[in-house]
Amino acid sequence: MTKKRILIMVSGRGSNMESILNAVADGQIAGEVVGVISSNSEAPAIAKCDQRQIPCSVVDRKTFARKADFQQALLATVDGYRPDLICLAGFMHILGAEFISRYRNRIMNIHPSLLPSFTGLNAQEQALAYGVRYSGCTVHFVDEGMDTGPIILQAVVPVYQDDDAASLAARILVEEHRIYPEAVRLFCADRLTIVGRRVIIDQGGKVNG
């Protein structure tokens, strides 16, 4: 099986980027990370790429007066890497319709809630304000909506009465680092099929939807 070409897009510290890189390095994923794109020239993730000798391109949103120009530059940079899979890992920008159309069903994102609940920013604060007893994280394919694409994997964590946003986020992050590489592994093994809104997972002869 030919290794899939994986491109990771970041804006910040890149902890989920590292979880994917580690899984690739350990041979858990039948793919190679061909590069990283940062939308922030000061992102800590850039130094982590340098340490690992991973090519990293910077398309800094602050240098573009218009969102449309940023999106075009971003798309041109992505095209240059010829990715089979794009992983958004703390990428803090909404992708344009042209981008999503070109790479439909090949863009993944990780979100710190059990979608479809608590989309958008500050998901942990939303969960605490609502008073839920359980929260978690979701890996999903990206579509034109806000965290509305087909769900691939989810993980659940308890919400404690003395939690604040930081403590809940830390508990969720542990699960993010577990399920994001697993979703990438399944994609690279050609074990994900999208049927309508559902992602069907081939479990080695068994199908889990």
Domains of the chain from N-terminus onward: 1-103 (3.40.50.170), 110-209 (3.40.50.170)
User: Band of the pLDDT at 203, cuts 50, 70, 90?
Assistant: confident
- What are the backbone dihedrals phi and psi of residue 81, each rounded to the nearest 5 degrees, phi first? -90, -10
Instruction: Give mean pLDDT, residues 198-208.
Output: 77
- Is residue 73 within 8 A of residue 81, CB to CB? The reply is no
Q: According to the model, what pLDDT value does residue 75 have?
A: 97
Task: Give the active site residues.
Answer: 111
Residue 190 to residue 178: CA distance in whole angstroms: 19
Average pLDDT taken over every residue of the chain: 95
Q: pTM of the prediction?
A: 0.94
Exposure string of 80-105, with b = 16+ CB inside 10 Å and e = fewer, is ebebbbbbbbbbebebbeebbeebeb
Listed in order, strand segments (DSSP E) in 129-191 are 134-141, 151-158
- In DSSP notation, 117-138 reads SS-SS-HHHHHHHHT-SEEEEE
Residue 83 confidence (pLDDT) above 60: yes
Q: According to the model, what pLDDT value does residue 152 have?
A: 98
Q: According to the model, what pLDDT value does residue 176 have?
A: 98
